[in-house]
Structure 1
Amino acid sequence: MTWMFKAFLKQLFGAKYERLGQALSGFLLVFLSLSIAGFQVVVRVQILYLMSGAFSAGILWQALKAKDRADQLQNMLMLPFDNGKFVFSYIASLGSYVCLTKTAILLALLWAVSSPGSEEIFGSVLCAVLGVLLAAAVFARRHQWYAVSLWVLSLTAILLFFGERIWFWVLAAGNGAIAVWILYHTDGYSFIFERRIPFRQGKIHSRHSIWRYFFRYLLSHKNYLANTAILWGVACVLPFFLGQTGNLFTAPVGFSILSMNTPVCILLSCDPDLLLAVHALPGQRKAFCLPYGLFLFCVNLAADGIFLCSLQLQNGGVTILTMLAALFFALQSAILSALLEWFCPIRGWKIESDLWHHPRKYLVPAGMLLLAGAVGVKPAIVPWLLLLLAAEVAGLLIWCRRDNA
């Protein structure tokens, strides 16, 4: 079991476990920064435990479903192995990676702003481990969806109603033992997630269309569509949270927040084969980069349009200048996201969750927030920003046309 566990760990943390040091550094940075800031909120014990367990379970589930995980697992399963040792080595290594690189950051944030006691800290760590075990067990029995759904709902109810009592730990230990028993009797091949795409006799197209590829890509990745739908839902309620401030200040801030649509902004990073092909083939600036920027612009503009409609219904006062600001922020963020993905794609990631939580996702929204502050202070600069954007677009078109490599 030891050599299998180390093999899985080195796949995730690197040959010399260098990612472990990076994760611990991030944990300390977040915890110390928020502690020094002195910002404090009250977080109930049940919420702390629920966030720790649910977040760990969600990240592990996403990692188990990742295509690269399935490919690596198939290679490992070609070797002779003991089934029980293989399963526990795989889940222990993947769970360690999730808890140390993802959940640790969340716990650092929660611990810094809520100042929990030693019992709550210990409990949140145990809930993270329990979330990993339960997610792995549910994933292994995912075909029995009716039973596992009832199990998950009952666990959530136990946490919400008994989170502050000793009975919670008794029931949690019992459910953890059940999860371990399920994993012990689970075959290693159960963790290979097969994406079944039904065969459809579609229309045969004589010409290629990159737009058709974009839409098919989204349809084949339902979680990307779900994330976009959630973002549009956020656009509906965002005016309520931004308050009754003037629209010339509220709207640009909302546009900046809505530019953080991670799944559609990592189209090249999440597919290394596509990234290699796009950069190797000639004429891809015009054939791929330009349509990709337009695609991001359409997605951003849809979110901004929903936000403006909600803002008009709740607060009113949306002007032509506000609409022009929406056009500027949608196009500018799309251009920056496309160029960032073209010149600085995310490489060296281990699981798909690394892409979704990479710090690069905050670069464009942060830049847009700075522009939002400038627009909020001096709205008259919007026409000048549009002129600069027009010059930027002209320069990009020339750059795309000169792609003869």
Structure 2
Amino acid sequence: MMKTIKLFNRQLMGKSYHSIIKSLLASLFVFLLMSVLDVHIVVKPFFFYACIGLFTIGIARQTMKSIINDEKLNGLLQLPFIKNHFLCSLICSTYLYVLGTKTLLLFSLFSSVMEPKPRVLFCSFLISIFCCIYGIFFALPYKLPQILAVLSLIACGAFAWLSRNDLVLLTSFISLSIAGIFYFRSNPYDFLQSPVSRKHQAFFARGNFINYLFRYFIFHKNYLINSVFIIALAVFLPFMFLNMEMGTFYLLGLGILSINTPLSILFSSNRTLLDKVRSFPNQKRKIIVPYFLLLLVWNGTPSMIYLLISKMLNQPFGTEDCLLALSLIVINSIGVVLLEWYFPLKDWHVESDLWHHPRKYIMPSILIVLTMLALINQGLLVGVGLLALCSIGLLLIIVN
């Protein structure tokens, strides 16, 4: 069993466990920074539990999807193993990865700003455990555990809203017990990836890069879920900025909406794709141009929704602001394409690492800086527009 745990740990965190070491250092830095700044925020346990639970479920589901899509798991299941030992090893390794590299950072942030009671911390710890376990089930074809996971989260949220931490503890223990029963009754071969039918393979084999993009979104539902979340955020942000009375600085929300992780790792998530397309001549135009157009539409949709709702809420919005928004969308789309083409991410173990790589904040940070400069000095608005035109010219030079 320990050998299996070590095997999964190396697959998730590397041979030297450098992923968890980086996470520990980052969590310690965040905790010390917020403590030195003496930032204190009143956060209700309900909000704390909801953030920990939903975040852990999402990361656990992404991680399990990455493990299932890895050919190493298929090879491991071909070897003789003890059923309960295999499942227990998979659960322990996944939880160690999720808690140690992802959820720990959230724990350190909340612990430094809200000073939670020990009982609240213990409840959140139990919630993170059963949310991680149920998050694994969300990656598998089990409907009943998924329904129970949703009901457990609703129950914990309701009890936390009523400040009944004792009932939150009881619900967490019951959820863990039920999840344990499901795991011991499940079959490890359910973790194998279901093969794609020959009909679909033949259909997509006759296509081009456009068909590849459509196939990518069909078989990766996380991408569609992320895009729906971005659109929901585009609807929510105008109301939040309206209460903050930010004036024209509400346009900073365009930088926040540009964090569309799935589309910014299109080549990085498939290590062999970029090497294969580069081996054929004249592939830049056939790949970079469709990729840029897809990003342009995908980034422009939530931005236009955001600007439309802001206009309906009587936010200051003129022709200059519209040109600034269009320039930012173009710069963001071209920047992501060039980063993925020339600097793809290759040093990763599971696809979940790509979703939380620091590189995804490069273009949003650039957009926020450009927006602030243009709003502070209206003369720099022309510079942002010229930068967008230069980006288009650079893209045309590259593809030709």
State TM-score, norm by structure 2.
0.90
Structure 2 match to 1:89? 89
Task: Indicate whether 1:302 and 2:272 are aligned.
Answer: no
Between the aligned partners of 1:227 and 1:242, the Cα distance in structure 2 is: 22
| Aligned-residue offset at 1:329 | 0.3
| Aligned-residue offset at 1:209 | 4.2
- Note closer, same or farther for the CA distance 1:328–1:25 as it changes in structure 2 (3 Å cut): same
- The one-character-per-residue Cα deviations of 1:306-328 (angstroms, maximum 9, x if unpaired) are 22211211115432211111110
Between the aligned partners of 1:238 and 1:264, the Cα distance in structure 2 is: 21
- Note closer, same or farther for the CA distance 1:197–1:305 as it changes in structure 2 (3 Å cut): farther
SS in 2 for 1:261: coil
Q: 1:256·1:369 contact (CA, 8 Å) conserved in 2?
A: yes
Q: 1:57·1:135 contact (CA, 8 Å) conserved in 2?
A: yes
Structure 1 match to 2:71? 71
Structure 2 match to 1:258? 257
Point out the more displaced range, 194-203 or 388-397: 194-203
User: Counterpart amino acid of 1:360?
Assistant: R
| Aligned-residue offset at 1:72 | 2.2
Between the aligned partners of 1:93 and 1:294, the Cα distance in structure 2 is: 40
Q: How well do the aligned residues superpose, as a CA RMSD in angstroms?
A: 2.6
Pick one of 159, 162, 166 that aligns with 1:162.
159
Task: Indicate whether 1:148 and 2:149 are aligned.
Answer: no
Structure 2 match to 1:188? 188
Q: How many residues align?
A: 395
- Note closer, same or farther for the CA distance 1:212–1:3 as it changes in structure 2 (3 Å cut): closer
Between the aligned partners of 2:386 and 2:139, the Cα distance in structure 1 is: 52
- Note closer, same or farther for the CA distance 1:197–1:367 as it changes in structure 2 (3 Å cut): farther
| Aligned-residue offset at 1:138 | 6.2
Q: Which runs of 5+ in 1 are unaligned?
A: none
- The one-character-per-residue Cα deviations of 1:188-240 (angstroms, maximum 9, x if unpaired) are 1122243767956998998x643343233223322212221221232233222
User: Counterpart amino acid of 1:311?
Assistant: S
State TM-score, norm by structure 1.
0.89
Between the aligned partners of 1:201 and 1:96, the Cα distance in structure 2 is: 36
Where do residues 238-317 of structure 1 align in structure 2 (5 Å cutoff)? 238-243=237-242, 244-247=245-248, 249-251=249-251, 253-315=252-314, 317=316
User: Counterpart amino acid of 2:51?
Assistant: M
Between the aligned partners of 2:225 and 2:173, the Cα distance in structure 1 is: 33
SS in 2 for 1:79: coil
Structure 2 match to 1:391? 390
SS in 1 for 2:340: helix
SS in 1 for 2:269: coil
SS in 1 for 2:64: helix
Task: Indicate whether 1:341 and 2:320 are aligned.
Answer: no
User: Counterpart amino acid of 2:247?
Assistant: G
Between the aligned partners of 1:201 and 1:123, the Cα distance in structure 2 is: 47
Q: 2:57·2:131 contact (CA, 8 Å) conserved in 1?
A: yes
Q: Which runs of 5+ in 2 are unaligned?
A: none
Between the aligned partners of 2:388 and 2:88, the Cα distance in structure 1 is: 54
Between the aligned partners of 2:178 and 2:6, the Cα distance in structure 1 is: 26
Between the aligned partners of 1:211 and 1:160, the Cα distance in structure 2 is: 43
SS in 2 for 1:98: helix
Identity %: 29
- The one-character-per-residue Cα deviations of 1:270-325 (angstroms, maximum 9, x if unpaired) are 11121221333333332322332232122222222222211211115432211111
| Aligned-residue offset at 1:365 | 0.5
Between the aligned partners of 1:86 and 1:149, the Cα distance in structure 2 is: 21
- Note closer, same or farther for the CA distance 1:288–1:320 as it changes in structure 2 (3 Å cut): same
Where do residues 4-403 of structure 1 align in structure 2 (5 Å cutoff)? 4-66=4-66, 69-136=69-136, 142-143=141-142, 145=143, 147-163=144-160, 164-194=164-194, 199=199, 209-243=208-242, 244-247=245-248, 249-251=249-251, 253-315=252-314, 317-401=316-400
Between the aligned partners of 2:200 and 2:135, the Cα distance in structure 1 is: 33
Q: 2:234·2:305 contact (CA, 8 Å) conserved in 1?
A: yes
Between the aligned partners of 1:204 and 1:71, the Cα distance in structure 2 is: 21
